[in-house]
Structure 1
Amino acid sequence: MSHGKIREEKNCLNCGHQVEERYCPHCGQENIETRQPFYYLFTHFIEDFTHYDGQFWGTLKNLMFKPGALTRTYLEGKRQKFVPPVKLYIFVSFITFFVFALFPLVTINFNNNKNNGDPDKANISKKIRALDTKKITDSIKTKTILTQEDSATIETLNVLPDAAKIDDLEDAFEMDEKIDKDVLYRGYKTRRAYDSAAAKNPSAFDFIQTPLAHKFFELKEKGVTKAEIVKSLSETSFHNLPKALFIYLPLFAFFLWIFHNKKRWWYFDHGIFTLHYFSFLLLNILFVFLIAKLASLTDIGILNSILYLLLCVLLIYIIAYFFIAHRRVYHTHGIVSFIIGGILFTLNFFTFMILVVGLALISFLMIH
């Protein structure tokens, strides 16, 4: 209920009709003073979404703890009790990505020293380098009779990486270093060499490979460090994520439409289910983010164990939620609902992964 001051005049400023109470019976506009205190802008915004009469909180309660209840109620025509699906999705999206924007997604400490300055890791690395595994193995094999201990020693040495591999791994994770000038892209050292080869041997995938190659050589020429690439890639991917989720909404509903009776269920019905499920997903993504963030800020072992356990439970619930909601909304039998739900879940998972890969490629191309 709004707390704006009611006008003394009884004429509606919007349509001119007589207003006996708070709202105009003709157009529904609230008959309140046109000028309000500054704080009214914020209180009105909160009221508009949360509805102090309990509509918003009742919607959240049903969304989180009663899978499929909102969709089923909405499709039955009972639409005044809860927040409309589109409005709910927009508000949850706003809150989720607003919270994300307040905190960094990942805090990475790119140390200039190898092994992140960890003396234990550095000592282990030096000891492995000091071991000439090939020489030791050859000396053992020269024995006429190999004991069980000799065989175990050879197996252990074979598992250990050699010094060259260690150097390669350390170089790969030296985030403060620039892209080496000798690094090749598909066997080519420069953009000119790549373009020349691509012109001679065109491929059906050039529309993907060529922009990626050009961006790689561009970053290489600019002397961009690996840390800068990782940071820019994560930030760009994050800003594109809302677009990806929004794009995927009709596709998710389309898959539901394919696997259900076309006469009984309209595409509109699947759209309502999708909006509610995606609102649930966004809220839980927010919870996962906050739990992971809290776990990264504390060093208390027991608390971290509880947080990670809660995280696992939440992830399991996210998966189970879809199957429960699907069965309750579409009224299918247990085994049939599980099979259809499993197919839909798998199909959507791989399709969304393709979308995520595409998002990553676009994010890479957008790095400056």
Structure 2
Amino acid sequence: MSNNPINCQNCEKSIVGEFRFCPNCGQKTNDELTLGVLFYNTISNYLSFDAKFLRSFAPLMFKPGYLAKAFVQGKRSRYLHPGNMYLFVSVIFFFLFSFVINDWSKDADELNKRIAEADVVENSESQRKRDSINNIKVLNALKRNQNLIGMSDEELARTDSIMRSQKLGGIKTSWGFNKSKVDSLVNVGAPEDVIYKEMGMSEDAGYFERQIYKGSLNIAKGSGFGKIIKRMFDAVPVAMFILLPLFALLLKLFYFRRGRYSYHLVFSFYFFSFLFTVFAMLLGIGRIFPAFPAWISWLIVFSTFLYFYLALFHFYQRHWFTTLLKSGVITFIFLLTIIPTAFGILFVFGLANA
């Protein structure tokens, strides 16, 4: 063995002895730049990722809680890292989901256009009184000629109920401002501030209020609903990075003696990866086979609750009944409080940026 020291090309540390790899940084001591060296790391990293994903896929889908348990026990080289798994699967899911969002956006814009072009209901007390008087006149005429037109008492009562609850004659809408005047201002190219003030924006409106009125104006023009949906979708990945840690916090609260917060975060990464995988598969099947039975899709969706219970049972290793109760309460809290709050914020975000 040679005692002549050499310097590592990467970390520049002195190396004494014959080493193929630097003991400080791990790079080859004689690493000449060739095509093989240029592409070696890329290819090896890809193949390593691919192999780990394939080894991790079956346990993720069919052995609830196994990957998280193996990871916290120190078995971290064979299977894909929970963060990498989550990012990889979520990218695929959101890519497939984008096609659904485009369809929803088109349908929403069509509905928005119909609403914007619909007859406007005058939002005033005098108009409501006129509508009430007209309804009474129509009903009185029907009563006087009830026998002539062959209308039963039940049919007359039902007609009365409909006229009291609906505006007849197609889609009608009521705006919180004078839409005709706003449309006129839009047609003549009036400045946005003038239009917003006509709609009711305050004089000292801040950025957020202005964005709300901007979104409302787009809805009045007939193009806001689709933009809201797209903006909400753009914010969903960010929201998931908030929901996932909150989900892990819920687990920590219910299993506060079962490890550090990071342990619960590992479980959450793998569980959300499972959810995204299932939903991505359903989206893919729906695009390829539009006639795929809906009841099977719903059955698969509801099976995720069973998966969650089994994952908790295997990961935390508590009594089956205790686990059943905790899984139900955690699901209830997450679905009925945290998720609606998050998506309510997303809706406001979408409206403000429509």
TM-score by length of 1: 0.66
Q: What does residue 206 of structure 1 align with? A: none
- Residue in 2 that maps onto 1:241: 236
- Aligned residue in 1 for 2:246: 251
1:335 aligns with 2:332: no
Unaligned runs of 5+ in 1: 1-10, 116-131, 173-177, 184-188, 200-208, 299-303
Q: 1:91, CA displacement in angstroms?
A: 1.9
Rounded to whole Å, the distance in 2 between the matches of 1:220 and 1:273 is 42
Q: What residue number does 2:296 align with?
A: 310
Structure-1 residue corresponding to 2:63 = 66
What amino acid is the match of 2:229? S
| Contact 1:14–1:29 (CA under 8 A) maintained in structure 2 | yes
Q: SS at 1:190's partner residue?
A: helix
Task: Give, in whole Å, the separation in 1 of the partners of 2:240 and 2:315.
Answer: 22
Q: 2:156 is matched by which residue type in structure 1? A: I
Gap change, CA 1:179 and 1:290, over 3 Å in 2:
farther
Deviation at 1:246, TM superposition (A): 0.8
**Equivalent position to 2:152, from 150, 161, 173:** 150
Residue aligning to 2:73: 76
CA distance in 1, matches of 2:35, 2:161: 74
1:285-300 mapped onto 2 (5 Å cutoff): 285-294=279-288, 298=290
Distance 2:143 2:273 in 1: 64
Deviations 1:25-60 (A, max 9, x none): 775558987443899797556424212xxx311211
Aligned to 1:280: 274
Q: Deviations over 1:76-122 (max 9, x none)?
A: 22222211112212222233334445x3623225559969xxxxxxx
**Matched residue, 2:86:** 89
Cα deviation, residue 220, structure 1 = 5.7
Aligned counterpart in structure 1 of residue 202 of structure 2, from 191, 195, 201: 195
Q: 1:36 and 2:35 equivalent?
A: yes
Residues 163, 341 of structure 1: CA spacing in aligned structure 2 closer, same or farther, 3 A cutoff? closer
Structure 1 residue 270: deviation in Å? Answer: 0.7
Equivalent positions of 1:9-158 (< 5 A) are 14=10, 27-29=25-27, 34-36=33-35, 43=43, 46-51=46-51, 55-100=52-97, 103=99, 105-107=101-103, 108=106, 138=140, 150-158=152-160
SS at match of 1:106: helix
Question: Which of residues 294, 297, 321 is equivalent to 2:307?
Answer: 321
What's the offset of the Cα at 1:24? 7.2
Offset at residue 275 of structure 1 (A)? 1.0
Deviation sequence 1:294-316 (CA, Å, 0-9, x none): 46xx4xxxxx2x34233212211
1:166 CA displacement: 4.5
Of Structure 1 and Structure 2, the greater helix share is in 2
Is 1:214 the counterpart of 2:210 in the alignment?
Answer: yes
SS in 1 for 2:102: coil
- What SS class does the counterpart of residue 76 from structure 2 fall into? coil
1:250–1:271: 8 Å Cα contact kept in structure 2? yes
Letter in 2 for 1:247: I
| Farther-moved stretch of structure 1 (309-318 vs 237-246) | 309-318
Tell me how far 1:163 sits from its aligned partner: 10
The code of the aligned residue for 2:202 comes to: D
* Separation of aligned partners in 2, 1:311 and 1:12: 57
Q: Deviations over 1:315-344 (max 9, x none)?
A: 112232222211221122222212211111
Q: Which moved more, 1:271-280 or 1:156-165?
A: 156-165
C-alpha distance in structure 2 between counterparts of 1:166 and 1:87, whole Å: 56
Among the aligned pairs, what percent are the same residue? 22
Partner of 2:4: none
Q: 1:236 to 1:73 in 2, by over 3 A?
A: same
Q: What is the CA deviation profile of residues 128-151 of structure 1, one whole-angstrom value per residue up to 9, with x for unaligned ones?
A: xxxx98667546756999xxx824
Asked if the contact 1:181/1:220 (under 8 Å) is kept, the reply is: no
Distance 1:18 1:235, change over 3 A: farther
What CA distance in whole angstroms lies between the structure 2 residues aligned with 1:144 and 1:364? 49
1:68 Cα deviation from its structure 2 partner: 0.9
- Aligned residue type for 1:271: L
* 2:182 and 2:198 in contact (8 A); partners too: no
The 2-side partners of 1:93 and 1:287 are apart by 12
Q: CA RMSD in A?
A: 4.3
Distance in 1 (CA, whole Å) between partners of 2:312 and 2:157 is 51
CA distance in 2, matches of 1:277, 1:25: 38
